[in-house]
């Protein structure tokens, strides 16, 4: 079953919180992973792997660099769902 954008945003917020300690309420679509949430590349890869498992999607390594904001990730996951 496909997840809604709100469900994906909430799920990403939980994953980011577990990995980095950033408050889930701070994980908003307009926030940049690196600039606003201060997520480094290693944590980002862990977040991607966890998001792939949670939402049953594949995010190729070459796509990760295009996921600048939380909203970018939500849109990508929404589009990648089968």
Name which of 20, 19, 28 is nearest 74 in CA terms.
28
Assign residue 8 a region (left: φ > 0; alpha: ψ between -120 and 50; beta: otherwise). alpha
61 is catalytic: no
Q: Which of 26, 38, 40, 61 is catalytic?
A: 40
DSSP structure class, residue 4: P
Residue 62: how many other CB atoms lie within 10 Å = 7
Q: Just list the catalytic residues.
A: 40
């Amino acid at each position: 079953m496909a997840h809604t954008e709100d469900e994906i945003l909430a799920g990403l917020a939980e994953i980011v919180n577990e990995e980095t300690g950033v408050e889930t309420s701070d994980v908003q679509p307009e926030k940049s992973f690196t600039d606003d949430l201060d997520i480094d590349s290693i944590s980002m890869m862990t977040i991607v792997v966890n998001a792939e498992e949670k939402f049953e999607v594949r995010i190729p390594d070459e796509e990760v660099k295009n996921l600048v904001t939380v909203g970018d990730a939500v849109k990508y996951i929404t589009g990648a769902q089968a």
